[in-house]
Structure 1
């Protein structure tokens, strides 16, 4: 009984030791998984998040006219496993610390994260494309200072190949040099007779 009275007296002096939520503010633990968020600037629409979603909470719908796509995450179905965040190649999916998901049954279809991404025309040929996200383009082309990642990311794959071919053609040896090089390689590879 003395132990109980000691704890009671300490709590009266120091205040409650429990979290006051829902009657007051609370804190979110540092690594809590709350709400799935999608960054439309980084999303490429590859579908890796949809394939890795164990709960089937992610849906990608391509527009019928081919102008883009809509990605939807149903928060009521999400089991917060974070597979989508783990497997997203561009880092477009994050999970914030907003864990306040209590809602009435009538609001269940409104508990979603939805982003619509529209395609842009290729800056060379006009084909509708999803530009490479700028952080990814910088990472891909960081070893080539002659390329501007902000320019190259707005090209479709075919135009990027053409640009790469043009740049690589400048570094090819002349026809005579290539023939001499090939002859030298063939001579060094031929067997020596004893």
Structure 2
């Protein structure tokens, strides 16, 4: 009996050892997979998340007028595999720690996250496109101080390619002292005599 009273007294002093949920807040682990979310500022609309989604819970559709795209995540279909987060090249996809996913059957079609992302005109040619996120552009062009990441990220892929070609063409040897490189073509096919 003395052992029981000792344990009872210790438990009274220390308080409850369980979480007070649902009457209070509870502990949420940092790596808990709660629900998939997308950051519209980082999303490029490349579709890698859609292709890697095992449950088919992600849909990317173009706007009818061609002014942008809409990304939709069906939370009711998501299996929380996190492959969208793993393969997203810009880091736009993530898995939150929000585990409050209980819902009634009538609300299953309302459990979605949807963002409409508008295209912006290219600063060079004016074609509609999605600019590279600033953090990614700074990381990509950090090695070359001649490239302005802020200007380059607002160029369409075609204009970036042309600028790259111009920059690389300037690096080719242009002195008259250097002999041109001759291209020798050899044929592997046998010749008839």
Structure 1 length as normaliser, TM-score? 0.85
- Greater share of helix residues, 1 or 2? 1
For residues 113-154 of structure 1, the C-alpha deviation after alignment (integer angstroms, 9 at most, x for no partner) is 211111111111111111111122122211111011110011
Distance 2:165 2:48 in 1: 30
Superposed displacement of residue 2, structure 1: 7.0
Superposed displacement of residue 6, structure 1: 4.9
Please tell me the root mean square deviation across aligned C-alpha atoms, in Å. 2.3
Superposed displacement of residue 166, structure 1: 2.1
Deviates more, 1:2-11 or 1:60-69: 2-11
Distance 1:122 1:144 in 2: 22
Superposed displacement of residue 91, structure 1: 0.6
Superposed displacement of residue 15, structure 1: 2.0
For residues 30-69 of structure 1, the C-alpha deviation after alignment (integer angstroms, 9 at most, x for no partner) is 2111121111111111111111111111111111221111
Where does the alignment leave 5 or more consecutive residues of structure 1 unmatched? 187-194
What does 1:175-194 correspond to in 2, within 5 Å? Answer: 176-178=176-178, 180=179, 182=181
Specify the alignment match of 1:12 in structure 2.
12
Superposed displacement of residue 157, structure 1: 1.5
Specify the alignment match of 2:90 in structure 1.
90
Distance 1:106 1:24 in 2: 27
Query: Secondary structure in 2 aligned to 1:176?
Result: coil
Specify the alignment match of 1:139 in structure 2.
139
Q: How many residues align?
A: 184
